[in-house]
Amino acid sequence: MAVALQLEGGVCTHAGIALGTAAPTPALARRAGEILEGQRLDAPLIEEAARAAREALSDRDGARATAWYRHRLCETLVKRFLTELSNEEGR
């Protein structure tokens, strides 16, 4: 998973969230990026974007993890990444 943000004055001007081995093929969580762009990052917005990223995953169980686990991990990691990146902007 990779998260890239461009922040200007605390407002997200570009967001990209890529999901690698969490789906059958690498994918972009486009809806999550759309939610973030043009907005000032705060906890409710980060939650919404993390849910949208989770929804970009397939619902199938894999050999290494169940769909439930992959969804939960994706949402948790996206929240952590976005929170950390938004905190970096304030420093």
Pick the more confident residue, 25 or 12.
Answer: 12
Domain boundaries, the chain: 2-89
Mean per-residue pLDDT over the chain, rounded: 89
Q: How many angstroms separate the CA atoms of 63 and 48, rounded?
A: 29
Residue ranges in 1-91 assigned as alpha helix (H): 30-36, 43-55, 67-89
Q: Is the predicted pLDDT of residue 3 greater than 80, yes or no?
A: yes
Task: Tell me which architecture the domain covering 2-89 has in CATH.
Answer: 2-Layer Sandwich (3.30)
Residue type, 41: L
Q: What is the pLDDT of residues 63-75, one digit of tens each?
A: 778 889 989 999 9
Res 20: pLDDT: 81
